[in-house]
Structure 1
């Protein structure tokens, strides 16, 4: 039953190899799951369930009997027209996980924005989430500091549109992944939409450093970003 369910869930991906990379599972082992020769360890099963947005009932019951989350009505447009689907914005272009973000003025001024963002791969798209740092003693509620967005790609270039609630402080990141020794770093520009009009554009140099998928690796970076922002204030 698990193999049959997994085959059905995998059909939405044009490349099994890319799906295995996104799941972090060896292709040979994944084929054993598909054929029903073996079952995943509990931690691997949990990772797969989170990725496909299902639960452990896929081990015993057919998908038709499990209530799955509804497919977002914009899913086809996101995939076919914006290139944000799993077959276009691949792990090679933008791995899921945490990134340390630095924005620098184009005139070479000291860095003025430091952020930690998290990219989460879903079957329909890649979501990005972050939080604006608090301002000193007056800490706003986390829901007011939350930033969310969506990542897509045009060829090798990745663009991320993100904003606070009610389109506050909206911005676009345009980045390209480095090669060889800089493979864990993305460079590009950040455009602040709230300060951009027909006469002027607010643009900064942008660097994204990949930290991996484990929260323990992201916590020190989050603290560092907070210290930078507090010192700048």
Structure 2
């Protein structure tokens, strides 16, 4: 029977062996990648710290171990197996082949939606979004959007209410959109998909601003109307910055459809949307006969 000191030494030896096996398995996995530096960048783990994992000097924290296992697509129990057993098991696992076209697509997505940087994170926060309604000609649609960071990328959620604010209350329809935001060659791109039915995709292209403090982001939006035969159209759009922390319920109360001459929409916004008195500028829509 082991005494206390012997038991302690046995536990230490076992822990060291597990760390050694983990280090060997990590080195084996990294050998199948283009470089350790790329692995560290993808995992967002400091290279010096990762080197300690590879050498067996230290063991990854639980959170880092989860990231590593997800990245290499292996289970946490498997990655701690004895090295020879791990290698044998890895060779038995079916290899997921990917065509060159699919790889090109993945590369394109990586280029199109890179990790968020300071040039884009300055736009994080909440916005009132104004644009001409495709489904209700002669109305301005006002919705609320939120730009936020998750997994080092910037996403967008938008809530849109189809409720005619200036008229008697009728049926009110609410649409939610989820999308991604990127900054490419000095233009902001927003691609959104309607969240429920997933049958409506739209893209906005906005001009960035170089002012320390800004109020509006202007551009155009291309999409498909939910009515009128789902014809494609393009319209002016403007995002009014509200801040990084707001009362969302209050902001949503102002969402809906407003007549072109509604005093509740500022003249500044109307000018950005090319509204002329109570008519639609012929240049407002492209590809859709509203006039």
TM-score (norm 2): 0.46
Where structure 1 has 5 or more consecutive residues not aligned to the other structure, the ranges are 212-219
1:6-42 Cα offsets, whole Å, 9 max, x none, are 515753x8963xx645544223212333444432101
Matching residue within 48, 58, 68 for 1:38: 58
Which residue of structure 1 aligns with residue 289 of structure 2? Answer: none
CA distance in 2, matches of 1:202, 1:93: 29
> Residue 203 of structure 2 corresponds to which residue in structure 1?
172
Matches of 2:208 and 2:37, distance apart in 1: 21
- Unaligned 5+ segments in structure 2 are 1-23, 133-139, 164-170, 257-291
Residue 58 (structure 1) aligned with residue 83 (structure 2): no
Q: 1:3 aligns with which of 2, 26, 37?
A: 26
| Contact 1:3-1:34 within 8 A present in 2 as well | yes
Deviation of 1:160 (Å): 3.5
Q: 2:235 matched to which residue of 1?
A: 202
Aligned match of 2:15:
none
Are the counterparts in 1 of residues 29 and 72 from structure 2 also a CA contact under 8 Å?
no
Note the C-alpha offset of 1:180.
Answer: 11
Distance in 2, matches of 1:3 and 1:166, equals 40
Q: May I ask how many residue pairs the two structures share in their alignment?
A: 204
CA RMSD of aligned residues (A): 5.4
| Residues 56-205 of structure 1 mapped to structure 2, 5 A cutoff | 56=76, 57-60=78-81, 61-62=86-87, 63-64=90-91, 75-80=102-107, 83-85=108-110, 89-92=114-117, 99-105=124-130, 112-116=142-146, 128=155, 130=157, 132=159, 147-149=177-179, 154-155=184-185, 157=187, 159-164=189-194, 165-168=197-200, 170-174=201-205, 189=219, 191-195=221-225, 201-205=234-238
- How many angstroms apart in 2 are the aligned matches of 1:155 and 1:229? 33
Pair 1:47-2:72 in alignment: no
Deviation at 1:58, TM superposition (A): 3.2
| Structure 2 match to 1:217 | none
Write the deviation string for residues 178-226 of structure 1: whole angstroms up to 9, x where unpaired: 78968xxx9564614125978x632323478997xxxxxxxx66xx334
- Hey, what does 1:232 align to over in structure 2? 255
Quote how far apart the aligned CAs of 1:130 are. 3.8
Between the aligned partners of 1:84 and 1:130, the Cα distance in structure 2 is 20
- Using structure 1 for the length normalisation, give the TM-score: 0.54
In structure 2, C-alpha distance between the alignment counterparts of 1:30 and 1:6, rounded to whole Å: 13
Higher relative contact order (CA closer than 8 Å, sequence separation 6+): 1
